[in-house]
Amino acid sequence: MVVGAMTITLHLGQGGSLKAKRKVVRSLTDRVRARFNAAAAEVGAQDLWQRIELGFTVCGNESAHVDNQLDSIRRFVERMALAEVTDVRRELINLKEMTWAPAAQNDWAI
């Protein structure tokens, strides 16, 4: 399993209040969730009305697919043009080995 995480930092020029910021955040996260079936949340700068930090997560079987999904989400957010994208960071984590996790018990298999 491959997990992809991405943070996008945006600058909100118009507006001027946390209420306007919440409207933009809600619109972006709801549309990304609906279109890409990805987890989306505001992950930082929650008290600053001009700065938006959003986090997105996608998982899949192949790293190429996960990377493509994250790139599609980035392009989608940029095309919506609700705020200016100032920074994008992404990371892919391959959990194929999962050596850190204990083995699952097969209690149902007799």
pLDDT score for 28:
92
Q: How confident is the model at residue 110 (pLDDT cuts 50, 70, 90)?
A: low
Strand pairing class (51-60; 39-44): antiparallel
Domain residue spans in the chain? 2-94
Tell me the average pLDDT of the chain. Answer: 86
SS3 36: helix
The pLDDT of 13-36, averaged and rounded, is: 88
Q: Is the pLDDT of residue 20 over 90?
A: no
Q: What is the mean pLDDT of residues 3-30?
A: 88
Per-residue pLDDT at 42: 92
Average pLDDT over residues 54-79: 93
Listed residue (65, 88, 91, 61) closest to 75, CA to CA: 88
Fold observed for domain 2-94: Alpha-Beta Plaits (3.30.70)
What phi-psi label fits residue 7: left (phi over 0), alpha (psi between -120 and 50 degrees) or beta? beta
**89 falls in which pLDDT band (50, 70, 90)?**
very high
Q: How many other CB atoms are found less than 10 A from the CB of residue 41?
A: 12
Return the ∠ at Cα 94 (arms to 89 and 95), rounded to 5°. Answer: 130
Phi/psi at 56 (5° precision): -130, 145
